[in-house]
Structures are given as C-alpha cells and as structure tokens.
Amino acid sequence: MGWQERSYTSTGPCSVSCNNRPHTGGKSCNNNEFWNKYSKHIFVSALVGMIVIPMLNNMFQTFNQLTTDVEQLKKDSKITKMKIQSIDNTLSTIKSGSFNIKSMVIDEMEKLNSDKTGKTDYALESTGGSIVKLLPETENYSKPKNLFGLTLCEGSNGPRAMLQIGTAPGQCWAFKGSSGGAIIKLVGVVDIESISLEHIPRKMSPTGEISTAPKDFAVIALRSPNDSQGSYLGQFKYDVDGPALQTFKVECGYPVEFISFKVLSNHGHMDFTCVYRLRVHGSLSKTTHKN
C-alpha cells in the first residue's frame, strides 16, 4: 500500500480535518482542542478584568475618600467644639460685662440721687448750710438778663442759690462784675477734703455761651465769720470746656465751720458773674462734732 493509501486509511479523530494538511504528529489538532475547551473561560476572565477590577478600584477609592471624609469630619467636629466653646466664653464675658455695666449705671444713678458726686455736701442749705454775709465790694446783680423774653439769670435769687439743689438755667447767684464772693457757714465743723463748683454747660444755655461762669476762684478756711486771716485752701480754675461739675482737692490743717468763697475772674462777661452751685466735701470732725 502506497503513501496515499495510508493517508486515506488512517484512523483517528483528525483523519478528516487533517487530510489536506501535512501531518505534524497531531499538534495542530491539539491547539484547536485547547481553544475550544478554554475559550469561554478566557472570555469570562477578560470580561471580569474589564468590569470587576474597575469596580473594585472604584470601591477602594470610595472607601479611601470616605475614610478621609470621616477624619475631616472628626477634625471639623473638634473645630466646631472649639468654636462653640469660644462662643460660650464670649457670651459669658459679655454677660459678666453686662453685669459690670449694670453695676456702673446703678452707681452713677446713685451718684445722681446723692447730689451727683456721691459725696455729702456740707454747705447744702437744706441740711443747715447758710450764707453769713457777702464779701466786701460784692453786690448782687438785681437786673435779670433777658433774651427774647427768656430770663437767663434771675438776679433776685441772691447768694443762697449757690447752696441750693436747683441748677437749671437761671437758678444761680448773680453778682455785678467779674469778682465777688461770700462767707458760708457749713452744716457743722468739717474736715474739708474737696470743693465742687458747678455751672450749666453750653448746650443748656439759651445763648449758647457761658461767659458768665466763674474762672479763677479761691477758698479760705475761717475759724469764725470775722476771721480776717484764715487758712488758705487754694486757688482753682473752673474750665468751661470741662464737665459741668468739677471737683478740686484741698488740704485743710484744722476742722472748719466757716469758709470764704471768692470768685477772682469770670470767662469774659463784663456785666455780671453767675455761680450755680458750690459744694463742700469732707467729713464731720470727730473731736468737735456738732449734732
């Protein structure tokens, strides 16, 4: 039998598919067999690689992002707690400050109720202070100064007005010229610590000016109304650009029952000077106290 006969009579699984190909010992048939057997697995694996792996990658990225977000939330939470604590502290400070402000307002109201200074006035007429006499060459200004029918200074008040509570415009003692004064008897024998002088501010003056206000003035402690020497407590200056009520400290060497108050100059008015309120502060003498 020849070669062609053997090739046609050969048996086996590849006898037909391999008729027209050189015989290679069955290797080509084995490759086809492998592909037919594993092609589906390869396709599925490729599909898994194309779909599942990106999904897993996205899941990991999402997980990492969530982890980062959680950490950030924790930080933000700490910051928020700190901010809340800071706000609480600020509110506490404001609350505390409001109590301090309230206390200050109450103190100021008490001062107003206690004659604006918070100090006893030992020259106040209603508690026993009085005018003994005018100083030499001092004359009351009896003619009121009027502007458009308004009485700017009521001359009939006399020197008692400066020992009284009222300090509305016109409630003052007016004397002629730019200098003058009076001797004052205090409520009792007093260790004097300070003197207060008050005048209306410009905004309360109908004319908008207060040139009648005292400028330089002096205070002398007297042992009696007829004491011609006394103890000089000091010379002071009332500032019209300062507060309406101004207090001046003094040093007195002995308890005093009488003082001499003298205005040396005013702030420019030629006709008269107005004294609204004079106060004397200190304490009643312990050694010569008078009830």
Q: What pLDDT, on the 0 to 100 scale, is given for residue 102?
A: 64
In the structure, what pLDDT confidence band is assigned to residue 47 with cuts at 50, 70 and 90?
low
State pLDDT tens for residues 105-148: 666 555 555 577 888 999 999 999 999 999 999 999 876 555 54
DSSP run (H or E) holding 244: none
What pTM was computed for the model?
Answer: 0.60
- Is the confidence at residue 267, as pLDDT, over 90? yes
Amino acid at 220: I
CATH class of the domain defined by 125-284: mainly beta
Residue 192 and residue 118: Cα distance in Å, rounded? 15
Residue 5: per-residue pLDDT:
44
> What pLDDT is attached to residue 1?
44
Compute the half-sphere exposure of residue 82: CA atoms within 13 Å on the CB side of its CA. 6
Per-residue pLDDT at 82: 75
Task: Please name the residues in contact with 187: beta carbons below 8 A apart, sequence gap of 6 or more.
Answer: 122, 123, 124, 127, 128, 129, 284
